[in-house]
Structure 1
Amino acid sequence: MSEKIYTGGCLCGAVRFEATGPAEKPHTCSCRFCQQHTGAPTAAWVEFPTERVQWTGTGAKPSTWRSSDYSSRAFCLACGSSIGAIDDEPVVALLIGGFDEPTDPAFKPQYHSFEDCRPGWLSVETASGEE
């Protein structure tokens, strides 16, 4: 049985990706980096080892900005869409909203990072049933 290939990309389509499953560590995060990177109070992520992510669009790899001592935020230089984060581990964390099928059950968040930064008016459900 072959592994699933997940596809997605930016708003304008210049940056496209294919990530070969399984999807790892789907989660939400409310840290200030994620909030500022996405413009949302919480970001939804899924991780893949770097060798399982291929950049397939005409824009090739996304542009990056070094956001911490272990990670760079990835975005499309043409349209500005946030794509994810390219970590030093090597891991590529892709924003779930950028996938062609963001409702795939494999992307259901398993946990929530930096819950203390989440606005009290925002409810975030994870697979563990925690809010």
Structure 2
Amino acid sequence: MTRFTGGCLCGRIRFIAEGEADFPHTCSCSQCQRHSGGLTLCWVEFDKAAVSWVGEGRAPALYRSSSASSRAFCATCGSSLGAVDDGPTVALLLGCFDDPQAPGLRPVAHAFEGSRPAWWKVDAGG
């Protein structure tokens, strides 16, 4: 079984995600932009049951960002970690992974391309 690890900037919040990564993608929606301060975020989804919050801080703090999801962050250092949906999904930010280049994490799609500036191009190739 594939095992991914990662955490926040200060290391207080750590996670282990086991199993197949689902729908690695980039997103330029306005919520992702406000959440991160960046123009695009890179996400990968896992079943909630496959993600364990470990480390001193345990589970991240949550901010209710929509009717179906909450943004996850470290209450100590403020690092964004992802989103915890009301449904069975946790979406983690690729920048939080110990090895963001691990097989299975490379984005395969880009959501909300129309929300990114015209000069911001995503190269889906090699």
The normalised TM-score by structure 2 is 0.96
Q: State the partner residue of 2:103.
A: 105
Q: Secondary structure at the match of 2:67?
A: coil
Number of paired residues? 125
Deviation at 1:104, TM superposition (A): 1.4
Partners of 1:93 and 1:71 lie apart in 2 by 10
Partners of 2:123 and 2:43 lie apart in 1 by 14
User: Which structure 1 residue ranges, 5 or more long, are not aligned?
Assistant: none
User: Which structure 2 residue ranges, 5 or more long, are not aligned?
Assistant: none
Please say if 1:5 is aligned against 2:24.
no
The normalised TM-score by structure 1 is 0.92
**The one of 70, 74, 77 aligned to 1:76:** 74
Deviation at 1:125, TM superposition (A): 2.6
Partners of 2:45 and 2:68 lie apart in 1 by 15
**Mapping 1:1-131, distance limit 5 Å:** 3-126=1-124, 129=125
Moved over 2 A (4+): none
Partners of 2:60 and 2:8 lie apart in 1 by 9
The amino acid of 1:117's aligned partner reads S
Q: Secondary structure at the match of 2:104?
A: helix
Q: Secondary structure at the match of 2:92?
A: strand
The amino acid of 1:51's aligned partner reads A
